[in-house]
């Protein structure tokens, strides 16, 4: 019987186990690579989003503006500083009108616009301040208007001052302006919706948080110069607009001037 040459025998059992273990680890790593973009790699932050997070800041802003313009409705809430006055907004806006509440340091009142007809509902103290120069005593005029929906004529300063808060396109055009060089900022979420932030002037020119899910709507705005923070929600949801009941309406033109 001839001798078996040294070193010509089968692999050792330990070597076989090491080879099998390495193959198993490689297979597991390959599976994870598909699910997690590579063994030891980072998850794609844009996975499952609308993709705007990959765009330059200027493109994100323009897409958000376009989405806001196309939408029929939106709900705005927050604080806005305009002409030295701070207004607290809680408004639902549509293409053909709006409804909600506006609060200032001095008063709170409801606004309703249906088509071109603007109604304002406030207490007597508000109207006493607004119409202190009207014919008759201010209190007599204000008592007729307090707690009622007052139909305000388009020629009155009150109409001009407050109708802009009920015009979706006008209000958004004024609010969504950012001032300065645009850059992309942090990713976050608002009410469970993932967002990406666009900042202007390193934040001093305002910031805009844009949805990364579905339509890239603007969801939160911080205005330049500390001029307020506004949240934008319920894009495209129906807003029920109808004129108040006749017994709840006072005709501003005939009542306030003492023509009744």
Residue 121: CB atoms within 10 A of its CB come to: 20
Contact indicator for 130, 141 with CB cutoff of 8 Å? no
Tally: H helices and E strands in the chain:
7, 12
Rounded to whole angstroms, the Cα distance separating 149 from 122 reads 8
Question: What integer is the mean pLDDT of 215-225?
Answer: 95
Of the chain, the percentage scoring pLDDT greater than 90 comes to 50
Q: Which of 165, 141, 167, 162 is nearest to 252 (CA)?
A: 141
What pLDDT does residue 20 have?
57
Q: Is the pLDDT of residue 135 over 50?
A: no
Rounded to whole angstroms, the Cα distance separating 150 from 43 reads 57
Contact indicator for 165, 152 with CB cutoff of 8 Å? no
Give me the chain's average pLDDT, please.
Answer: 82
Q: Is the pLDDT of residue 183 over 80?
A: yes
What pLDDT does residue 6 have?
53
Q: pLDDT tens-digit profile of 77-108?
A: 999 988 888 999 999 999 999 999 999 888 88
Question: What integer is the mean pLDDT of 182-194?
Answer: 94
What pLDDT does residue 85 have?
85
The secondary element (H helix, E strand) that includes residue 211 is: strand 207-211
Question: What integer is the mean pLDDT of 111-140?
Answer: 75
248 vs 134 pLDDT, higher one:
248
What pLDDT does residue 46 have?
85
Q: pLDDT tens-digit profile of 70-79?
A: 999 999 999 9
């Amino acid at each position: 019987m001839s001798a078996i040459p040294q070193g010509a025998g089968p692999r050792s059992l330990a070597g076989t186990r090491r080879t099998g273990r390495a193959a198993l680890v490689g297979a597991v790593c390959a599976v994870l690579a598909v699910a997690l973009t590579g063994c030891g790699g980072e998850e794609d932050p844009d996975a499952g989003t609308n993709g705007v997070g990959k765009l330059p800041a200027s493109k994100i802003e323009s897409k958000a503006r376009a989405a806001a313009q196309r939408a029929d409705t939106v709900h705005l809430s927050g604080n806005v500083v305009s002409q030295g006055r701070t207004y607290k907004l809680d408004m639902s806006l549509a293409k053909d009108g709006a409804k909600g509440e506006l609060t200032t340091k001095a008063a709170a009142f409801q606004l309703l616009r249906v088509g071109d007809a603007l109604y304002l509902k406030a207490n007597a103290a508000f109207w006493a301040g607004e119409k202190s120069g009207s014919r008759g005593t201010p209190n007599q005029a204000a008592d007729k208007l307090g707690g009622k929906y007052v139909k305000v004529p388009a020629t009155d300063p009150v109409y001009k001052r407050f109708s802009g808060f009920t015009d979706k396109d006008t209000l958004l055009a004024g609010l969504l302006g950012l001032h300065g060089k645009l850059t992309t900022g942090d990713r976050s979420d608002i009410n469970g919706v993932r967002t990406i932030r666009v900042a202007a002037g390193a934040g001093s020119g305002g910031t805009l948080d844009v949805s990364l899910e579905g339509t890239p709507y603007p969801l939160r705005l911080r205005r330049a110069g500390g001029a307020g923070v506004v949240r934008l929600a319920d894009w495209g949801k129906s807003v029920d607009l109808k004129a108040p009941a006749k017994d709840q309406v006072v005709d501003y033109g005939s009542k306030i001037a003492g023509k009744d």
